[in-house]
Amino acid sequence: MNRVSIPRIDPGEPVYRADLAMGEHSARHLRRIMRLYLTTWDLLELAPAAELALTELIANVVRHVPGRRCQTFIFRLPTGDGVRVEVADSSP
In this predicted structure, the answer to whether residue 1 has a pLDDT above a threshold of 80 is no
pLDDT beyond 60 at 10: no
Contact 31, 55 (CB under 8 A): yes
Residue 41 near residue 84, CB atoms below 8 Å: no
Does pTM surpass 0.85?
no
* Contact present, 68 and 22 (Cβ < 8 Å): yes
pLDDT (tens digit per residue) in 44-81? 999 999 999 999 999 999 999 999 999 999 999 888 89
Res 24 pLDDT > 80 = yes
For residues 27 and 52, give the distance between their C-alpha atoms in angstroms, rounded to a whole number: 10
